[in-house]
Chain A
Amino acid sequence: MQAVIQTDRLTKTFGHFTAVDAISFEVAPGEIFGFLGANGAGKTTALKMLTGLLKPSQGKAFVAGYDVERYPEEVKRRIGYMSQRFSLYEDLTVRENIRFYGGIYGLSTPDIRRKTGLLLDKLQLGAQADALVGSLPLGWKQKLAFSVALLHEPRIVFLDEPTSGVDPLTRRQFWDLIYEAAHQGVTLMVTTHYMDESEYCDRVSIMVDGRMDALDTPGNLKKHFSAADMDEVFRRLARPDEPVVRDGHVPHIFKSPEE
């Protein structure tokens, strides 16, 4: 099957600093692709290049079949995006938010009306349709933001830390929505801080200092690093000099110096 995201030694430099260092990977349609890395490892920069916000310094990236450097507008039409801050307008109602995002993606008015109905039914938000988004609980905002990102039927949705600050139960429900979208053939590229969440992904990439140091299924990664969980895999990669605490319950920052 044709890859929906394909990069070839994609590189971004800012002056002498190499933020993204020749990463090459492919993502298949309907795949849930975990994008991990410490802060400053380069995942935000990579994401910006894939969404057409930044021009690559070197290398190529094809998203939804288009070269992001040459056809950023074509790419933008075919992707959805949800930021960690939910990307909804709090002073607008649920319905107005849906109408706005439908509008800027060029959907027709009848189309928007039809999809608004479907979406409100699916999220069981019918009673809140004319309530301000600011009055909704966090979990609902998040689900609404994700559904709005899917409104124009994009082939790929980029989720930038979508679950930060949300309780575990709501996170679990949110992942159900992600699975459902993936099942319908949408490709999902998810960055997250939660290592347990990375286990839900089909494949996980881990970026360290701008390089993509690991890329495989969570199971294979754990086997390869003989690690108990993804947290350990991540720490082995990001901080190779550090001894790993086997029980996995003691975060390294709380370790006493003589350990």
Chain B
Amino acid sequence: MSRFSAFVKKEFRHILRDRRTLMILFGMPVVQVLLFGFVLTNEIKNAAVAILDPSKDVSSISLTNQLLSSGYFRLERNLSSTEELEPAFRSGKIKMAVVFPPDFAQQLAHEGKAQLQLIGDASDPNAATTLINYANAIVLDWQAAQNRSAAVPPLRIEAQTRMLYNPEQKAVFNFVPGVMTLILMLISAMMTSITLAREKEMGTMEVLLVSPLRPIQIILGKTAPYLVLSFVNALIVVLLGMFVFGMPLRGSVLLLAGECFLYMFVSLSLGIFISTRANTQIAALFMSGLGLMMPTMLLSGFIFPRESMPMALQVIGNIVPATWFNPIIKGIMIKGVGLETLWLNTLVLGFMALFFIAISMRNFKDRLA
């Protein structure tokens, strides 16, 4: 039996014996993706609306039909007077109301324009804005259709917007890559730093160092199992994104796997770096939690857009590996681009890995011995 394989075997035993941690390691990515995918979604479907239509003419009925058949809105009730609006919103039964004037079709026909009121429930501002935007778009669509059928089309400029790559603006397209950066960092960095700190805490590190195992074998032996775990997890997250949420994988699978390994390598080297500083498991947990998890979540652009951050935070965000890795996953999966576009991000990650491996290898012997 080779020394190294004996070591890796032992490491797998530690991991497999600790069932609770193992369940967290594999359960967490699944729960996170499902939660982010289903709960934290920006898109709205079947929002309850009320319609107040005193005119009940061809135009108002046609527009109403178009709104309700879009899939975004569901008719909760028809109102007969403006007095009913307020109680309907208060009861929370409706998210938006559409109010037509009494002579909608006539106004359109004679004056060429008509007023239409869209009322949103801004106690949830994000949802209200989204709904009003959807409704506006549908009204514009309807208007365009009307103009086309009219004999003399009035001159007007229409701005046509198209959301590329993710036309439905599915939030999960953003969360799957985000969760991946987080999970890989968590398992690779946090778990390796904790497992190395544990050897120090238990006093077994001394024995390993006195043994004929070389320091590099100790590090590789400790990290190799986590590399495997991380990769399995990355696979789970990608498959969930694709088969549960319909995320595309337009680029090269091989490139995606390679980039995942690169990012895991950076994370592992960070974990090793932390373990050369932390002497206890708790210290390692805090250092990786605060020093790696938080920036990965908050500064990488996963949850908050980097463009709206203050300059200082953007600069700090640049040293977070996830900032560079996140666009890589999105690029490969959603846009289908290759290395010709992603070379800079790949290069930065490569340098980060080399840098942290170099300084932790230098620290390792002095610190652990």
Listed in ascending order, the chain A residues whose CB lies under 8 Å from chain B are 48, 51-54, 73, 76-77, 79, 81-92, 96, 99-109, 112, 158, 160
Interface size on B, residues (CB 8 A): 25
Contact B202 A90 (CB under 8 A): yes
Task: Give CA–CA (A87, B9) in the complex, Å.
Answer: 18
Distance (Å) between the CB of A132 and the closest chain B CB?
Answer: 8
Contact A91 B14 (CB under 8 A): yes
Most buried by B among A73, A106, A109: A106
Report chain A residues within 8 Å CB of B13: 92, 96
Contact A100 B6 (CB under 8 A): yes
Give 18 A-B contacts (CB < 8 Å), ordered by A residue: A51-B210, A76-B211, A76-B212, A81-B210, A83-B207, A86-B203, A87-B207, A88-B204, A92-B17, A99-B6, A100-B7, A103-B10, A104-B7, A106-B2, A107-B1, A108-B1, A158-B210, A160-B206
Residue of B nearest to A82 (CB): B207
Listed in ascending order, the chain B residues whose CB lies under 8 Å from chain A are 1-3, 5-7, 9-10, 13-14, 17-18, 202-204, 206-214, 369
Residue of B nearest to A100 (CB): B10
Given known A-B contacts A87-B206, A89-B202, A77 and B212 have beta carbons under 8 A apart: yes
Report chain B residues within 8 Å CB of A160: 206
Residue of A nearest to B203 (CB): A85
Report chain B residues within 8 Å CB of A54: 369
Known pairs A90-B202, A104-B3. 10 more at Cβ < 8 A? A53-B209, A54-B369, A79-B210, A85-B202, A100-B9, A103-B6, A104-B6, A104-B7, A109-B1, A158-B210
Given known A-B contacts A92-B10, A112-B1, A105 and B17 have beta carbons under 8 A apart: no
Task: Give CA–CA (A44, B266) in the complex, Å.
Answer: 35
Contact A81 B14 (CB under 8 A): no
Distance (Å) between the CB of A190 and the closest chain B CB?
Answer: 15
Residue of A nearest to B221 (CB): A104
Distance (Å) between the CB of A175 and the closest chain B CB?
Answer: 21
Report chain A residues within 8 Å CB of B3: 103-106
Report chain A residues within 8 Å CB of B6: 99-100, 102-104
Contact A87 B10 (CB under 8 A): no
